[in-house]
Structure 1
Amino acid sequence: MTAYPTWTPAPRPGIIPLRPLGFGTILGRAFAALRQNPRVLLGFALVAQTVVTIVAAAGIVAAGIYSFGRLATLSPGDDDFDTVMAGSIALVGAVSLVLGLAANAFSVLVQAVIVREVAHAALAEKLTLGGLWRQVTPVAWRLIGYTVLLSLAVGVLVGILVAAFVLLAQASVAVVVGLVILAILVAVPVSLWLTVKLLLAPAVIVMERARILDAVRRSWSLTRGRFWPSLGIVVIISAAFGALAQLVSLPMSFLTTGITTVFSPTGDPEVGSVIALLVGLLVTEVLVVLLQSVALVVQSTATALIYIDSRMRREGLDLDLLAYVDRRELPGAVPTDPYRIHIGRDLPRWAPPAPGTAVPGFAGHPAPPFPAPPYPTAAPPTPSPGAATPPARDPAPSPRTWTPPGGAPGSP
């Protein structure tokens, strides 16, 4: 008796089709992915972003109170006043720089968790926050190191430019103004270009466990040929959330001004006006933090989708993902991570056969050589000397005609 394979259900669809993605698909699914796992995506990002913002703001305020509080014991005419003022400014600046780097490093860890979640969601898999964090932990320090190095590189470049402008200002202010305008005009396209070329470096570190320099090279190569779609997605998402933040903060500022006017119509610094001002600022900050969290999720999701799409187009990742989905449903199957196999695979490019080369046939039979144009015509065989002359064939019969009843003969 023949044993037939048992029926298995169709694979569950993920958040994206397992084929190269278009511009609209990436942009639309970047917003729609929030519904896939909102507890991990939106909840985790919101809590993390809120905690980081509060800790950074509290640290900067504490440093300012401690440093500038010493000025209360000095008079503006004292000899130590300028020294203490400079030291206070430097201390607050250093604390702000350190806390800013820490906030950026933690944000890139949140982005790494989102990238892993989107990679699993593309395969219709849903993991818990703990499972995602265990996958990010082995490369956490690489992500932090990449963020710190990138921030320091930008800071050093800006510092060199500022120092050069200050030195040139002593010679000619007009020249410095022109150079500043020129630098701004050049910095905008250069920053956008570098943003796109380095966009996939964190995703490469997370998905492929690559080192920092290897991740930068991979991001540079994966975005080759996909620069303009990636730039369009990044600009559209940033502009959309920037405009939304302005739409939220502007009415709140008017509302805060109105409440302050109601509580303090004379303009005196009363307790009610101070409370109204603090409440307005707090509500505005909460809304801005919420928008920043959603923007971080959408931008990270778009980055993960651009990474998957780039590998599908350059390395055939869609074939590996489809094979993984097929093997995953088999009983006892232990499939490997499809994102870590065939990394850097160079797919063969199709090209038309050259003249004179053999074209593959069907069913294992080789095809005849592909002739070069103009195609030669077969010449009649030449009989060898002494061979018998083949009998002449009968001439081809003439085409038969059809004669309709009572009419002329028709065409052949």
Structure 2
Amino acid sequence: MSAQHAWTPAPRPGIIPLHPLGFGTILGRSFAALRHNPAVLFGFALGVQAIAFIILLVGVGGIGWLTFSRLDTLREGTEEFDAVLAGSALITGLAAFVLGLLATALQVIVQAVVVGEVSHAVVAEKLRLATLWRHVRPSLGRLLAYAALLLVAIAVLVGIVTAAIIAIGVAVHPAVAIALTVLVILGAIPLTLWLNTKLLLVPSILILERATIRAAVARSWVLVRGRFWAALGVIVIISLLFGTISQFVSLPLSFLSSGLTTIFAPTGEPNTGAVIAIVVTVVLTYVITLAIQAVGLVVQSTASVLIYIDCRMRREGLDIELLRYVERRDAGDDSLPDPWRPRAGGPSSAPAAPPGWGQPPYPAQPPYPTQAPYGGQQPYPAQPPYPPQPPYPAQPPYAAPQQPPPAPPVARDARTWAPPTAGDGESDPQPPS
């Protein structure tokens, strides 16, 4: 008897189909992770955004108040007043820069959690925040270091370009410096988009493959090749979408603030009602803006992970590995390897490409050596030719086939015919011939 296979249920669907994704699928399913686990993603992102905003507001505001409050004890126009003013501005600017880096680091943490959640949502798994945190924590240090290196590189590049423009303006002419500034800004826009797209997959590689920073940058550069324009289009559309939503939300609230100020303070003198109205409007504006920024951060991070998955499906056959993982997991197998980690033999278990598709050709084989004749063998004797055959005798012609005689005509019985009766409109009836 043949063994019967055990019945297994159909695999649970994830947030994306397990095959290479199109442009519309990536763009549409970028919102799917937020719907799949909103309590973790939206709640965590909103909390982190609020903490970053409070740290930035309280830190910069407190340091600015402490430094600039010393100006009240000094007389304006003196050298000491100018020195304290310059020092206060410098200290406040440095504090804003450092706290801005801290806020960016908090956003990087949100991105790491989103990468972990999307990687599980693709295979129809839903985890809690504590479990996700345990998965992404080993790679969080490398992700923060990569973000810091990127910010430092940008700051150094901007500083060098700014110093060069100022030096040109001082040495040549201010108009030349202004024109050069415009050209640099116009050239920086496509350069920034190009670099952001080429390095878009680095966070996903750092979190899911546990790669080093250098290996992640090189791998992102290679993986995005062939899907550059699709990745660029998705990121630009999502950025423009949430930027437009923020403007549409903030503009009515600014009109509301102006209207309340006019109502509570028609003469322009500040009072308690006007201050309360302005504070409430400002707080409401920032709360809604933080919510939109949290959703936008989650959606953009999800889109980058989906682009990473699509690139690996197309180049390495990751969809086959994920399907195999889902089938074995649903069948009850608990000893499953991580499907996102590249195998020891290569980046994935996909079959190798045939020669000519990115692989070196096979080395040339040496010709086979000529075989020596067998010793002691006599050649075969020559065979006599076949004797000539006599021609075939002439055949008599075929007789013409005889035609069968024609059949005699069939005699008809005249008694079977009867003339029509009178009154049916016939005249001069004739029997049939």
1:274 aligns with 275
Q: How many residue pairs are counted as aligned between the two chains? A: 363
Counterparts of 1:230-309 in structure 2, within 5 Å, are 230-309=231-310
Q: Is residue 2:329 matched to residue 1:349?
A: no
Cα displacement string for residues 331-350 of structure 1 (whole angstroms, at most 9, x for unaligned residues): 34310110003363485335
Task: Give yes or no for contact 1:116–1:132 (8 Å, CA) kept in 2.
Answer: yes
Paired amino acid for 2:75: S
Give the Å deviation of 1:32: 2.6
Distance 2:243 2:287 in 1: 16
User: How far 1:48 moved relative to its partner?
Assistant: 1.4
Letter in 1 for 2:149: L
Amino acid at match of 2:161: L
- Which residue of structure 2 lines up, in the alignment, with residue 188 of structure 1? 189
Counting aligned pairs with the same residue, the percent is 52
Change (3 A) 1:388 1:302: farther
For 2:22, the equivalent position in structure 1 comes to 22
**1:340 alignment partner, SS class:** coil
Distance 2:290 2:297 in 1: 10
Partner of 2:420: none
How far 1:351 sits from its partner (Å)? Answer: 7.4
Question: In the TM superposition, what is the alpha-carbon distance from 1:271 to its structure 2 partner?
Answer: 2.3
Task: Quickly say closer, same or farther: Cα 1:73–1:386, change in 2 above 3 A.
Answer: farther
- Deviation for aligned residue 1:270: 2.0
TM-score between the two structures when normalised by the length of structure 2:
0.80
Q: What is the CA distance between 1:385 and its match in structure 2? A: 4.8
Contact 1:314 1:347 in 2 (8 A): no
Task: Sort the Cα spacing of 1:175 and 1:209 in 2 relative to 1 into closer, same or farther, 3 A.
Answer: same
Deviation at 1:386, TM superposition (A): 4.4
Which structure has the greater CA radius of gyration?
Answer: 2
Instruction: Specify the SS of the correspondent of 2:340.
Output: helix
Name the amino acid aligned to 1:112: A
Number of the residue aligned with 1:399 = none
- Are 1:335 and 2:323 an aligned pair? no
Residue of structure 1 equivalent to 2:83: 83
CA drift of 1:79 comes to: 2.0
Gaps of 5+ in 1: 354-383, 392-412
Tell me the equivalent position of 2:325: 324
Deviates more, 1:327-336 or 1:248-257: 327-336
Find the counterpart in structure 2 of residue 175 from structure 1. 176
Equivalent position amino acid for 1:315 in 2: E
Distance 1:96 1:347 in 2: 52
The aligned amino acid for 1:219 is S
Give the superposed CA RMSD: 2.2
Q: Which amino acid aligns with 1:187?
A: A
How do 1:39-58 residues align onto structure 2 when only pairs under 5 Å count?
Answer: 39-58=39-58
Pairwise CA distance, 1:388: 6.5
* 1:331 to 1:344, Cα distance in 2 relative to 1, 3 A: closer
Q: Is the 8 A contact 1:116 1:206 kept in 2?
A: yes
Moved more, 334-343 or 87-96: 334-343
Cα distance, 1:33 vs structure 2: 2.4
Partners of 1:176 and 1:285 in 2: how far apart?
37
Counterpart of 2:375 in structure 1 is none
Equivalent residues of 1:105, 1:143 under 8 A apart: no
Q: Aligned letter for 2:135?
A: Q
Deviation digits for residues 321-371 of structure 1 (CA, Å, limit 9, x no counterpart): 111112112334310110003363485335799xxxxxxxxxxxxxxxxxx
Partner of 1:75, secondary structure, is coil
Rounded to whole Å, the distance in 2 between the matches of 1:224 and 1:352 is: 19
Q: Report deviation, 1:58.
A: 1.0
Q: Secondary structure at the match of 2:30?
A: helix
One-letter amino acid of the counterpart of residue 47, structure 1: G
